Structure 1
Amino acid sequence: MKKILSILIIAVLLLSITGCSTSSKNTESKDKKVKVGFIYVGPIGDGGYTYAHDQGRLYLEKELGVQTIYKESVKEDKAEVEKVVEDMIDQGATIIFGTSFGFQEGLLASAKKHPEIKFLHCSGYETAENMGQYFGKIEQIRYLTGIVAGLKTKTNKIGYVAAFPIPEVIRGINAFTLGVKSVNKNATVKVVWTNTWYDPAKEKDAAIALIDDKCDVITQHQDTAGPQQAAESRGVYSIGYNSDMSKTAPKANMTSAVWNWGPYYVKTVKAIMDGTWKSGKYWGGIEDGVVDIAPLTDVAPENAKELVEKAKEEIKSGKLNIFTGPIKDQSGKVRVEAGKVMSDDEVWNMDYFIEGVEGTIPQK
């Protein structure tokens, strides 16, 4: 009897120890914070593209309580990106967002090397089992801002400071021009390339060159407010990009095409934490809230607000698809037949300028 009692006591003690161990492990698992890394092409103080992504990072921290780390001004170079990724993994990051097109090659190589890490790349096209793509239909907002520009111009010459001749930039220029043409058939959009995402001085100089060529409205696909400041200094009007740039050029800026990355970052990280995330390509529009137009300022045309709100609701509801034919290219060739709607794939890979755009697309 004493022997049986001794065995029972030992068994109870073992169960108690095991229970404590399991409880400790569970507590550690719950207390362990997820760490998310962000790789930026510019500084977070650029007032534009990187700033918008960083606002999304801060929103993610606030909403989910996860830890985040970031690296600013990373070169679009495969070896450099891989180096930054390795450093972030050493710091404990298990989810990494690369926020610029030129990071794609480095992120893909890192994804193959680290299958246990989840990678998300902004604006590219390559995917892997542990690497997804994400972007937004900012061209919808480009169209709306084009309406504002088309109503405002007196010279019928609108300047567009553009970064690189890639489909992301090209389709934005075309969408903006379609918006301009929807309210002003006589206006044209002149493009100047800078071949940089972030160079405030170069962006400003490009805008000044357009203003000297009688462009009285300036817009941009650049990461800083340089073109806005050029417009302000020369007494013409402007439309910003990435974030609301009205404060940087209060006398010139009429509105901006803006990004709202926060909800996407929260949704994606939550799915990874829940184990429900799957690699794929996300391309959200107005209906998702990832893209939007900043409030029109006092220097915008009086009748612009009504027309913009009407078009915005039609795009949101699906009634208006901005890339609906007939659409001709610069040479007058019909690229989209009357009544036909371009597919997402056709829009995503757009490599030509439409009628109404002045400028050329450099050959690779």
Structure 2
Amino acid sequence: MKNNIKTIILIVLIFIFIIIIIHQQILLKKLHNKVKVAFVYIGDIGDFGWTYAHEAGRIQLRNNFKNLEIIYRESVSPENFTNIVKDLIEKEKCKIIVSTSYSFDSYVIKLADLYPDIYFLSCAGMTAKKNLIPYFIDVYQIYYLNGLISGGLSKNGKVGYIGGYKIPELIRHINAFTIGLKEVNPDAQVFIYWLNSWYSPIKTSNIAQKMIEQNIDIIAYTEDSSSIPTTCQKYYEKTGRKVYTFSHYSPMDKFGSDVIVSGQLVNWGLIYTNLFSKILSGKIEPKLHYWFANSNAAIFGKNYSCMISDEAKEILKNKKIKINSKVTNLYDYIIQRYDQIKDPLISFDPFTGPLYSNKNELKILNKERAGLKDLLTMDWFVPSIFEIDY
């Protein structure tokens, strides 16, 4: 009897798998010759951050696939997303929709059911269907490296962080950054301000200025503009005092040539080339496609050719740190950690236990690493993180 049940279950699973393959092949046949694709952006392609980086990826994808006709819509609010996508499908005849924001995900899920013959890609989404492919590249490990840098550069241990929304992705960024920061300076503190917006350049600049006035001497961030490097650079030119910051998703040297020390960058073109190669060959799997910092698409640096500014490098080389009873300079230690993170097996990860929350709750057990589910649902802060308002 048990063997019969197992056989039936196996047959059902095989049948489901065959149905998925057949459906994907039907979709593939409909992607004839010139395939029309639409990218939908939550921000302006000139934001020099998140949307700018995705737009660079779109252009790289277009150059790599001559059979793709790729259009885009920018500055799309979540409330308008559904109507705009319907127009792209029904009027523009797009066969593939690329949704590039976490804020669109709940709408994408419904649209995928409404249009079963259209492929949807959802950046930072988690729900997979036969025609819905969630994807993401996580750079929290690079935030950890920039936390190490900040620990060596901050003179008073007061670090600011400006975030778009309080979601697991940004909590990962902040926690990893703080772990690196406190590894160098155990007394350091991180002060977070939530914008509740991905792109508010004026507000972001005002908050950065207020942080500077409160003697914060490093500002990290996850939001979509170049406002923070611009604000820190202007402050330096006016006062001669440097408040260090980072490039985010795209190189931002021209906005903060004297104050940007490193950054976390993403080459979305590599991600999109990978995904579209699988879609167009009919080999895409209906699952979450996830990359970490060991991917070539994740880049540690202030730009694509410089990891750490010359000024910061000299300071870090003269900063001694004791690790497992051995003394080394901080710059060499950062490079060592970077090599471990870039290792195909990721031989080091900042979310390795024991890790406690700021409420003294054990979140990751000793010698264990946070799994993907832990990362995607992270809703707690490590110690020494404080949320502020102005």
TM-score range (shorter-chain normalised) is 0.7 to 0.9
Distance in 2 separating the partners of 1:265 and 1:180? 33
Question: Deviation of residue 338 (structure 1)?
Answer: 2.2
Distance in 1 separating the partners of 2:38 and 2:384? 42
**Equivalent in 382, 386, 390 of residue 354 of structure 1:** 382
State the match for 1:70 in structure 2. Answer: 72
Amino acid in the other structure paired with 1:349: T
Distance in 2 separating the partners of 1:267 and 1:189? 37
Indicate the SS of the match to 1:287: coil
Question: Deviation of residue 180 (structure 1)?
Answer: 1.0
Question: Deviation of residue 247 (structure 1)?
Answer: 1.7
Contact 2:295/2:342, CA 8 A, preserved across alignment: no
* TM alignment of 1:212-291, pairs within 5 A: 212-235=213-236, 236-291=243-298
Contact 1:158/1:215, CA 8 A, preserved across alignment: yes
State the match for 2:368 in structure 1. Answer: 340
**Equivalent in 291, 298, 302 of residue 310 of structure 2:** 298
State the match for 1:23 in structure 2. Answer: none
Mark the runs of 5 or more structure 1 residues left unpaired by the alignment: 1-28
State the match for 1:311 in structure 2. Answer: 337
* TM alignment of 1:164-175, pairs within 5 A: 164-175=165-176
User: What are the superposed Cα offsets for residues 31-88 of structure 1, whole Å, 9 maximum, x if unpaired?
Assistant: 82112110001010000000000000000011112210000000022xx211111222
- Mark the CA change 1:59 to 1:305 in structure 2 (over 3 Å): closer, same or farther: farther
Distance in 1 separating the partners of 2:291 and 2:339? 16
- Mark the CA change 1:215 to 1:283 in structure 2 (over 3 Å): closer, same or farther: same
User: What are the superposed Cα offsets for residues 225-249 of structure 1, whole Å, 9 maximum, x if unpaired?
Assistant: 1111121222311123111112211
Which one has a bigger Cα radius of gyration?
Answer: 1
- Mark the CA change 1:279 to 1:193 in structure 2 (over 3 Å): closer, same or farther: same
Contact 1:239/1:255, CA 8 A, preserved across alignment: yes
Indicate the SS of the match to 2:312: coil
Contact 1:245/1:256, CA 8 A, preserved across alignment: no
Indicate the SS of the match to 2:252: coil
Residue identity (%): 31
- Mark the CA change 1:31 to 1:111 in structure 2 (over 3 Å): closer, same or farther: closer
State the match for 1:152 in structure 2. Answer: 153
Distance in 2 separating the partners of 1:182 and 1:319? 18
Contact 1:121/1:131, CA 8 A, preserved across alignment: yes
How does the TM-score come out when normalised to structure 1?
A: 0.87
Mark the runs of 5 or more structure 2 residues left unpaired by the alignment: 1-29, 237-242, 318-329
State the match for 2:107 in structure 1. Answer: 106
Contact 1:246/1:254, CA 8 A, preserved across alignment: no
Q: Does structure 1 residue 93 correspond to structure 2 residue 105? A: no
Indicate the SS of the match to 1:132: strand
- Mark the CA change 1:102 to 1:111 in structure 2 (over 3 Å): closer, same or farther: same
Aligned length: 332
Amino acid in the other structure paired with 1:86: K
Question: Deviation of residue 144 (structure 1)?
Answer: 1.1
* TM alignment of 1:1-16, pairs within 5 A: none
Contact 1:159/1:218, CA 8 A, preserved across alignment: yes
Contact 2:191/2:388, CA 8 A, preserved across alignment: no
**Equivalent in 329, 348, 351 of residue 320 of structure 1:** 348
Contact 2:31/2:95, CA 8 A, preserved across alignment: no
How does the TM-score come out when normalised to structure 2?
A: 0.81
State the match for 1:331 in structure 2. Answer: 359
CA RMSD of aligned residues (A): 1.9
